[in-house]
Chains A and B, each alone.
Chain A
C-alpha cells in the first residue's frame, strides 16, 4: 500500500510553501502535507490584535513582493493569511493531513504510509507554548494560544510572565483595557521600533545584520535561543512605555512557594544587559551609516524597590498569562535527530540523516531565517542540496518530473 513521491514537505506555512516553490521550479515531484489549512499557525494560534512585526515592504516571499498600498504598515493576521494563501497557488498541498510518523526505509522515508526519498521538515518553530511547571497554582492561566483579547479573560488583575514580543504586547493591551498588570521580566531583547526616523528593521535589513550567515555568527547556540525582540507591529512598546502606562515591572518568576510567586532580585541586571546590547546595536547601525553622534535609548527605568513576592491567592490577580516562549513539536518524528534538549540537530538546515532537511528554525542559515523575507535563501539552498545529493540515486525521478 501507499503512494510514493520524491519529496514530502511537512507543513504549509510560508517555509514549507517556499520549499515547494523551489521544488516546483526544479521539477521535483513532491507534496506538502498540512494538518490544518494553509497558514494554519497564523489562522489558529494567534491573538486577535496581533500584527506582523515586520513592515509590509519587507514582507516578501520568493517571487511575491508586497504590492498593497501601505508599504510602511504591518499586516493583520487576516492579511498574513491572505498573503500566504496567494503564495500557495499552484503548490501541491494536501490539507487536513496530520503527519503522525516519519520513519526510515531502505529507499528513504515513510511519512505515515507515503513513501519518499527526502523530507523537508517545515512544521514550524512555535508549535507548543512553553509553560514552566510550578504545580497547581489555583488561578486561571492562559498561553498565547488560548489568549484572544482582554474581554475573554476573567475579571481582575493579570500577571504576565515574560517580556519578549508576546509579553510586552499583551501587557500593553491588557493595561489599555484597564486591567491591573504585573509584568515579570527575565532576560529580554530590547529593540526600539524606530531609530533616527526609520523602522529598526530597515536598519537590520540595510546594514546586512539580518543577512548574517549562521556560520559567521559568534555564538550560534545563543543566537538561536535569543528571545524575540520587544517589538509590536506599529506601536512603540518597551518597558518604559509600559511603566508609563501603569504596568508594574517585577523580576523573573523564579518559583511559586505556598501560593506565593517569588520574583528574582536580578531585574536591574537583565534591564541593563538589554539596554547595553540595544545601544551597541544602534551604535553599530550608526557606524555603518558613518554617523559619529549617538542617540542612546532612555535607560530602562527599573522601580526603586521591585516587588519580590505576589500572593497568587490574594485576589490581586485573576489570571496568569504565560508569555514564556514556544518550542517545536517533533513527537511525530521517529528519527534520531534530536539533541538531549529535544532540539533538531542540523547544519544550516541539513540534518545528518541523508535526505532529511529542516526549514523555518531560528537562525537556520541566516539571522532572518524565521521571517517571511528570510525564507528565500534558505529554501533555495536546502532544495539545491536536496537535489545535488540525491543525484545518481534519484536522478531518474528528477528528470522524469522535468
Chain B
C-alpha cells in the first residue's frame, strides 16, 4: 500500500475540528492587513499579525504586498491591481482545499494548476451607474494530474469550493464597515 503524501497534515486539521467543538471562542480569528499610501495609486500593504486561538499570533515573517495599477491605467505598475489580489486569494484557497481534500481522501496529487480569470467591466469604477464596480463573473479552470478518476477529481474540486473561505467571501455578501479613525 502506498501512502498518500500531498504534504497536508490532515490529521491536525481533523484534530483541530474536534478540539474547537468544545471551544468556539478559540475558533474566532481576525485577519489583519495594514496599508500605507506611497504615491499615486501605489500603496504597500503589510501583513504580520493576526488573532486566533484566543491570543495574538504572528506569521514567521512579515510580508509586504505592493498594489498599483497597470500602465494602461496611466499608472506606474509598481505592483498588481488590488482586484487581482482577490484572484490570488481565490486561487490560493481553492488550491489548498484541493490538496487537503485529496489528502483526506487518499488521493496522491502530481500537479495542480489553476487559471483564474475575473471578467471586469471597468466602466463601473469610472462612474457608469449601470455597470457594477466589481467582477461580473469569475472563472477558475483546474488542471489536475492525480491517481484518480475524472469524477473523483471533480468531486475534490467541488468539495474544495464548499469549504473555501475565499469562495464564500466572493460569492456571498459580507457586511463591510469603513470608518475614519
User: CB-CB < 8 A to A257: which residues of B?
Assistant: 173
16 residue pairs of the A-B complex, CB under 8 angstroms, read A254-B172, A254-B173, A255-B172, A255-B173, A262-B172, A264-B171, A264-B172, A265-B137, A265-B171, A265-B172, A266-B167, A269-B162, A269-B167, A272-B154, A272-B158, A276-B151
8 A Cβ contacts from A233-249 to B: none
User: CB-CB < 8 A to B151: which residues of A?
Assistant: 276, 279-280
Judge whether A162 is part of the interface by a CB distance below 8 angstroms: no
User: CB-CB < 8 A to B172: which residues of A?
Assistant: 252, 254-255, 262, 264-266
Contact: A266 with B173, CB < 8 Å? no
Contact: A266 with B161, CB < 8 Å? yes
8 A Cβ contacts from B125-154 to A: 137, 151, 154
Q: Which residue of B lies closest to A255 (CB)?
A: B173
> Which A residues contact B (CB, under 8 angstroms)?
251-252, 254-255, 257, 262, 264-266, 269, 272-273, 276, 279-280, 305
Q: Using a Cβ–Cβ cut-off of 8 Å, how many residues does chain B contribute to the interface with A? A: 14
User: CB-CB < 8 A to B171: which residues of A?
Assistant: 251, 264-266
Type the 1/0 row for B60-74, where 1 means its CB is closer than 8 Å to any CB of A: 000000000000000
Interface of B, helix, strand, loop or mixed by DSSP = helix
User: CB-CB < 8 A to A264: which residues of B?
Assistant: 171-172
Type the 1/0 row for B148-180, where 1 means its CB is closer than 8 Å to any CB of A: 000100110011011000011011110000000
Contact: A273 with B162, CB < 8 Å? yes
User: CB-CB < 8 A to A280: which residues of B?
Assistant: 151, 155
User: CB-CB < 8 A to A279: which residues of B?
Assistant: 151
> Given the complex of chains A and B, what is the CA–CA distance between A255 and B173 in angstroms?
7
Given A266-B168, A269-B158, A273-B158, 18 additional A-B pairs, CB 8 A: A252-B172, A254-B172, A255-B173, A262-B173, A265-B137, A266-B161, A266-B172, A269-B161, A269-B162, A272-B154, A273-B159, A273-B162, A276-B155, A276-B158, A279-B151, A280-B151, A280-B155, A305-B137
Contact: A265 with B159, CB < 8 Å? no
Closest chain B CB from A284 CB (angstroms):
13
User: CB-CB < 8 A to B158: which residues of A?
Assistant: 269, 272-273, 276
Q: Which residue of A lies closest to B159 (CB)?
A: A273
Closest chain B CB from A365 CB (angstroms):
23
In the A-B complex, the 3 residue pairs with the smallest Cβ-Cβ separation, listed nearest first, are: A265-B171, A266-B171, A254-B172
> Given the complex of chains A and B, what is the CA–CA distance between A265 and B161 in angstroms?
12
> Given the complex of chains A and B, what is the CA–CA distance between A255 and B172 in angstroms?
8
User: CB-CB < 8 A to A273: which residues of B?
Assistant: 158-159, 162
> Given the complex of chains A and B, what is the CA–CA distance between A254 and B171 in angstroms?
9
Closest chain B CB from A30 CB (angstroms):
36
> Given the complex of chains A and B, what is the CA–CA distance between A255 and B174 in angstroms?
9
User: CB-CB < 8 A to B167: which residues of A?
Assistant: 266, 269
> Given the complex of chains A and B, what is the CA–CA distance between A264 and B137 in angstroms?
12
Type the 1/0 row for B92-129, where 1 means its CB is closer than 8 Å to any CB of A: 00000000000000000000000000000000000000
